[in-house]
Amino acid sequence: MYLCNHQNDNVFPPPSLPSELIVEILLKLPARTLVQLRCVCKLWKTLISDPNFAKKHFLISIADTSMTNQRLAFEDCSYPLKSLFENSSTRVIPDIFNGFEIDQYCMMGSCNGFLCLYDPDQYNMIMYNPSIGLKSQTSPEIEPSPDWGNWGTPINGFGYDHVNDKYKVLAVVKPDYGYGPESMTIIYTFGEDSWRTIQDLPCTPSQMLGKYVSGTLNWIGSKENIWASFAPESMQEIFSFDMEKETYRDVLLPQNVGEEYGVVDSWTKLLNIPREKLVILHSIDQYSIIELLFISEKGVVLLMIYREHLISPRW
C-alpha cells in the first residue's frame, strides 16, 4: 500500500517504525497475541521467534505485579492468577491447554513458562509451552535395568541451567517391588540424544517433585533410608542439585523462609498459616496435605489441598 499526493502525484512509501521500537511494543503483549502476530510479516515473525525476545518477554511478565499475564498450570489446564486472587469467592474457569492431547502425560515440573511432561506409555518426556501451544522434540525412551520388570519414576525434577542455556530433567528410577536402596538416577538435557546416569540422590525425599530455585532442584529429605515425612526434624535436610555442575549439596533446614538462597543467616519468618482456621473454614481434615503455591505482593496466599482444590484464604 502506498500514499499518494494528488497535488504533485508523488508516491510515498508507507510509514514505518524502527525495529527497536516494534520490539518494545511487542514485549508488552500477551504470549497468545504474539502467536497471531507472527503471521503479520516476515520481520515480526523473525523478531517474535528470536530466543532472546522470548526470554525478555518472560522476565517482563513475571515482574508484572498485576499478574496480568501469569498463569497457574494444573493438570490439563491453566488458571489466570489475577482472577484467582481478585475473585476468591467466584469459581474461575480454566483454559484447556491446546496444541496436542495433554491428558496422556504426567506433569513433571515447570520452569520459565515451560512444562515438562512425561508419557508413561512411551517412557519419554517433552517440554511444552502452554501459552503458545508449542512443544519440544521428544526425549529418548527411559531404559532401566531389564531385571527390574515393572518400574517407575517416583522422584524427579525439571529446571534450567542458566550457564549453558539448557533445560534439564532429572529422574530417579526405581523398581516397583519396593523403595529399597536399588535405584538409578538419570538426567536428560533437552536437545540431546540420550539420557545420562549420574550420582544417586543422596536422600530419601518427602515429595516427588524437586522445587526449582536459583538454578537448583531441591528436596526435603533424610539421609536415612526412611521417608522424610516420617523422620524426626533433626534428621531432615534440604538436598540441593546444581543444574549446571550436576552435583549435590546439603542446605540446613530453616525454621523460617530465606531471603537469599543457600545463606543460613538470611532466613526470616515470612508468615504463619493457621491450619486450624483452614479446617474450620473449608472442612479440611487434619491429615490433609496442604501445599503453598503462591504468595501475592499483598500477602494473599494460594494453597492446594489434596491436589484437587485451589483456595485463597484471607485472615
Domain-located, residue 297? no
Domain-located, residue 305? no
Q: Where does the pLDDT of residue 263 fall: very low under 50, low under 70, confident under 90, or very high at 90 and above? A: low
pTM to 2 decimal places: 0.76
Domain-located, residue 38? yes
Q: Where does the pLDDT of residue 228 fall: very low under 50, low under 70, confident under 90, or very high at 90 and above? A: very low
Confirm if 142 and 153 have CB atoms less than 8 A apart.
Answer: yes
Average pLDDT over residues 3-32: 69
Domain-located, residue 31? yes
pLDDT score recorded for residue 195 = 94
Average pLDDT over residues 164-183: 80
Domain-located, residue 43? yes
Domain-located, residue 103? no
Domain-located, residue 260? no
Q: What is the mean pLDDT of the chain?
A: 77
Q: Which domain holds residue 52?
A: 19-58
Looking at the structure of the chain, the number of domains it has is 1
pLDDT of 144 > 50? The answer is yes
Domain-located, residue 273? no
